[in-house]
Amino acid sequence: MDKVHAEKRIKELSSEIEIHNHNYYVNDKPTISDFEFDKLLEELIALENQFPELLLSTSPSQRVGGAITKEFKSVKHTYPMLSLSNSYSTEDMIDFDRRVQEGLGLQSADLFSSSTVKYVCELKFDGLSIGLNYTNGQLVQAVTRGDGVQGDDVTTNAKTIRSIPLKLKGNFPSSFEIRGEIFMPRTIFDEINKEREEIGESPLANPRNAASGTMKMQDSSVVASRRLDCFVYYMLGEEVPFKSHFENLNAAKSWGFNVSKHSKLLDNINEVLEFIEYWDKERFNLPYDIDGIVIKVNDYKQQLQLGFTAKSPRWAIAYKFKAEQVSTELLEITYQVGRTGAITPVANLKPVALGGTTVKRASLHNADIIEKLDVRVGDFVFVEKGGEIIPKIIGVDLTKRQAHTNPTKYITHCPECGTPLIRDEGEANHFCPNEMECPPQVIGKMEHFASRKAMNIDSLGGETIDQLFKAGLVKNIADLFDLKKEQLLPLERMAEKSANNLIEGLEACKNVPFERVLYAIGIRHVGETTAKKIAKKVKSLDALMGLTKEQLLETDEVGGVIAESIADFFADEKNKNIIERLKNAGLQFELSEEQQQAGSDKLNGLTFVISGVFNKHSRDQLKELIEFNGGKNSGSISGKTSYLLAGDNMGPEKLKKAEKLGVKIISEDDFEKMLDK
Ligand code: IVH
């Protein structure tokens, strides 16, 4: 295809993809299958790769991510990002209404005058606030709250959020900011925690922390995979189209923004109170968390008249829901042993209704918490469901404590294998150190090994693993590959067909690429992404085993904890033995030739800073090329910078600094020559 046709096709594809995106993520009404959608996106990406000069910063291909942000630039907000004052009761709300009426010179005692202030009620989304700046209908910058005066530029990551429009439609102002909340839907949060548990990491406390942690990640493709969402709720700028908040929200909706359908324009404080009451119960049926309701005076003239205090607007307030609390009896404390040996004490409760579900169990977290709360079996405990998903025990109803109860004694030995527990310094949890023999740890490791993102052995589910372990046929992941069909057939529910499937599944997984094998062997803290990065960098397991901690730390995403954990893993003879056996069984312990050939080490040891606009490649593409060929990207010039890759309109500060430090400045052409060598 020639360039003219490519340009036309790219335009068509981009607009078609964004329409489907909008239908799926904003309207909740998909208009195309995932497969067809992926096809369109693939075609677009292929064309953009072929004609890099046609890649626009608003292309839907940006949503896939890939660009790395080493350091988030700090930028000043055009308008400070204020917060809201909080209220907790009907009285607080009536007080707010009175202050508003008085501030506007209306008589609150006069029943009829209340209709002259209209309020917009919105859900208070529990995530992180974001300021989205648009110029000529294009998303140009996304900034976090920071300290309210300046925040972090997280544009690259924000672009991966499908409900944030990259390009607007309709009649929008040439320049404005819109604020909203980025959040993580609860199903995604649950998925992530399941995976964290699998690799031995403590679960994220709540979707809010998960969302803000995700937005600060360096690799935007990981952000893309987290499927964050965003609602907008506040428009700012010199030329916003309407003179009231609600009308502007509707306008924003028509330009493509995700505005909550639950926002309502209400006539008086009584309707506001009804709205609050309704959502206090209904909130549990939403697919995301809200922690209250936001009430805003609708009319801008009235907002102006009311003005701001130092911290928050006088024309708006947040009503915070009380976390629902109940009291119930603690029947028993049991102890769970996780895949990594971490012990979690669990409170088994007399079932009680809370926040729309029946609660029977609550985590007691660790020994310190049990001691601090002084919870005892037989106590009545207060259980709360706040922002956290798992209910919490927040205290004991001492008025109901029976005489002769005993303080809880934390277990000293593993409830599964009897091994004395250990507790590392600074760690909250006790651990069972018997990694290789403690049943839930052994079984957990095998389940992880067989799981979809690891070796993907369909025919080796949890039940089968349980069975194999109990029958004494397997004690570790290497034993799986010694299994013979004859050994399987005598097992219960194991017919000829399932035995064949299992043997075939184990055979087929020998083709699973190295990066997934690295994830599958279950080194603590080495998740899917980390495994991928390490595999790409070290290329083989032998190479990885030969690295020092310092060398490991040079890999993206590998910090001290991971480096330590990898070193510990390979220091253990038993692990080495298992790896050796897996190798002999034929698993992939190095990148395939194809994978090795992709990329080069031409830029090994070199650090680049990219600045300005380029003719042949986008900046993201240049960054990828650098990493692909073994180089490193950095956001700022320092003594460690090898080259400043300079395009048009480069910042004068960067140029000055490079000259001062004697950093070599090269053009896009020079860079291409380096790669051609
Ligand atoms: S309006 C000046 N509306 O709650 C008014 N905020 O302290 C700015 N939030 O920082 C905020 N949902 O992060 C507004 N519908 C909503 C909201 C909302 C959540 C967050 C926002 C803000 C905090 C209030």
Spans of all domains in the chain:
3-64, 86-320, 324-400, 439-511, 514-595, 599-676
For residue 84, the ligand 1 atom closest to its alpha carbon is 7
Q: The tokens of 595 are what?
A: 């994978």
* pLDDT at residue 571 is higher than 60: yes
Q: At what angle do helices 90-103 and 269-282 cross, to 10 degrees?
A: 150
Highest-scoring range by mean pLDDT, 38-47, 289-298, 385-394:
289-298
Short-list 424, 408, 454, CA closest to 342? 424
Torsion of Cα atoms, 191 then 194 then 196 then 197, to 10° = 170
- DSSP string over 317-354: EEEEPPPEEEEEEEEEEEEEE-TT-BEEEEEEEEEEEE
- Looking at the domain covering 324-400, what would its CATH class be? mainly beta
For residue 127, the ligand 1 atom closest to its alpha carbon is 13
Tell me, what's the pLDDT at 519?
95
* pLDDT at residue 503 is higher than 90: yes
Q: CB of 636 within 8 A of CB of 71?
A: yes
Q: The tokens of 434 are what?
A: 């018997």
Q: What is the mean pLDDT of the chain?
A: 90
Q: What's the rounded Cα separation, in Å, for the pair 306 and 221?
A: 44
* pLDDT at residue 108 is higher than 60: no
Distance 93 CA to ligand 1 centre (A): 17
Distance 79 CA to ligand 1 centre (A): 14
When pLDDT is cut at 50, 70 and 90, the band that residue 109 belongs to is: low
Q: CB of 223 within 8 A of CB of 69?
A: no
Least confident of 176-185, 475-484, 558-567: 558-567
Structural fold of domain 599-676: Rossmann fold (3.40.50)
Length of the chain: 677
Q: CB of 416 within 8 A of CB of 439?
A: yes
φ and ψ at 77, to 5 degrees? Answer: -70, 140
Whether ligand 1 lies within 6 angstroms of the CB of 589 is answered as no
Whether ligand 1 lies within 6 angstroms of the CB of 373 is answered as no
Structural fold of domain 439-511: DNA polymerase; domain 1 (1.10.150)
Q: CB of 109 within 8 A of CB of 181?
A: no
Average pLDDT (307-315) is 92
- Looking at the domain covering 86-320, what would its CATH class be? alpha beta
**Which residues does 580 contact at the CB level (< 8 Å), separation at least 6?**
none
b/e 517-526 (16+ beta carbons within 10 angstroms → b) = bbbbbbbbbb
Q: CB of 628 within 8 A of CB of 588?
A: no
Left, alpha or beta for 146 (phi > 0: left; psi -120 to 50: alpha)? Answer: left
Q: CB of 592 within 8 A of CB of 516?
A: no
Structural fold of domain 3-64: Helix Hairpins (1.10.287)
For residue 123, the ligand 1 atom closest to its alpha carbon is 15
Tell me, what's the pLDDT at 386?
63
Torsion of Cα atoms, 100 then 104 then 105 then 111, to 10° = -60
For residue 86, the ligand 1 atom closest to its alpha carbon is 7
Q: CB of 520 within 8 A of CB of 188?
A: no
Q: At what angle do helices 560-571 and 573-585 cross, to 10 degrees?
A: 80
Q: Exposure of 1 by Cβ count < 10 A (0-12 exposed, 13-18 middle, 19+ buried)?
A: exposed
Whether ligand 1 lies within 6 angstroms of the CB of 84 is answered as yes
Distance 180 CA to ligand 1 centre (A): 7
Tell me, what's the pLDDT at 284?
84
The residue nearest atom 22 of ligand 1, judged by CA position, is 83
Q: Strand pairing partners for 363?
A: 346, 392
Distance 119 CA to ligand 1 centre (A): 15
Whether ligand 1 lies within 6 angstroms of the CB of 182 is answered as no
Which tens digits make up the pLDDT trace of 217-228? 988 988 998 999
The residue nearest atom 2 of ligand 1, judged by CA position, is 82
Tell me, what's the pLDDT at 447?
94
For residue 129, the ligand 1 atom closest to its alpha carbon is 13
Average pLDDT (581-593) is 92
* pLDDT at residue 473 is higher than 80: yes
Distance 264 CA to ligand 1 centre (A): 16
Tell me, what's the pLDDT at 110?
53
Whether ligand 1 lies within 6 angstroms of the CB of 122 is answered as yes
* pLDDT at residue 391 is higher than 80: yes
Choice from 82, 129, 279 to test ligand 1 binding pocket (greatest atom count within 8 A of CB): 129
Which tens digits make up the pLDDT trace of 355-371? 777 889 998 889 999 99
113: amino acid identity, one letter: S
Half-sphere exposure of 538 (CA within 13 A, CB side): 27
Q: CB of 179 within 8 A of CB of 130?
A: yes
Q: Strand pairing partners for 194?
A: none
When pLDDT is cut at 50, 70 and 90, the band that residue 114 belongs to is: very low
Strand order through the sheet with 290-297 = 86-87, 316-320, 290-297, 119-125, 264-266
Whether ligand 1 lies within 6 angstroms of the CB of 229 is answered as no
Q: What's the rounded Cα separation, in Å, for the pair 148 and 311?
A: 10
Short-list 283, 273, 278, CA closest to 356? 283
Average pLDDT (247-259) is 97
Whether ligand 1 lies within 6 angstroms of the CB of 288 is answered as no
Distance 124 CA to ligand 1 centre (A): 6
Q: What percent of the chain has pLDDT over 70?
A: 97
Q: What's the rounded Cα separation, in Å, for the pair 157 and 223?
A: 6
Whether ligand 1 lies within 6 angstroms of the CB of 234 is answered as yes
For residue 82, the ligand 1 atom closest to its alpha carbon is 2
Which tens digits make up the pLDDT trace of 54-78? 989 899 998 988 788 888 999 999 9
Whether ligand 1 lies within 6 angstroms of the CB of 178 is answered as no
The catalytic position among 118, 124, 296, 537 is 124
Q: What's the rounded Cα separation, in Å, for the pair 65 and 214?
A: 13
Whether ligand 1 lies within 6 angstroms of the CB of 313 is answered as yes
Domains 439-511 and 514-595 share a fold: yes
DSSP strands (E only) in 355-462: 357-363, 380-385, 392-396
Q: Is 539 a catalytic residue?
A: no
Average pLDDT (144-167) is 95
Whether ligand 1 lies within 6 angstroms of the CB of 503 is answered as no
DSSP reduced 3-state for 219 = strand
Other beta carbons within 10 angstroms of residue 659's beta carbon come to 12
**Which residues does 537 contact at the CB level (< 8 Å), separation at least 6?**
555, 556
Other beta carbons within 10 angstroms of residue 545's beta carbon come to 16
Q: What's the rounded Cα separation, in Å, for the pair 145 and 149?
A: 8
Q: The tokens of 265 are what?
A: 């324009």
Q: What percent of the chain has pLDDT over 90?
A: 63
The residue nearest atom 9 of ligand 1, judged by CA position, is 124
Distance 294 CA to ligand 1 centre (A): 7
Structural fold of domain 514-595: DNA polymerase; domain 1 (1.10.150)
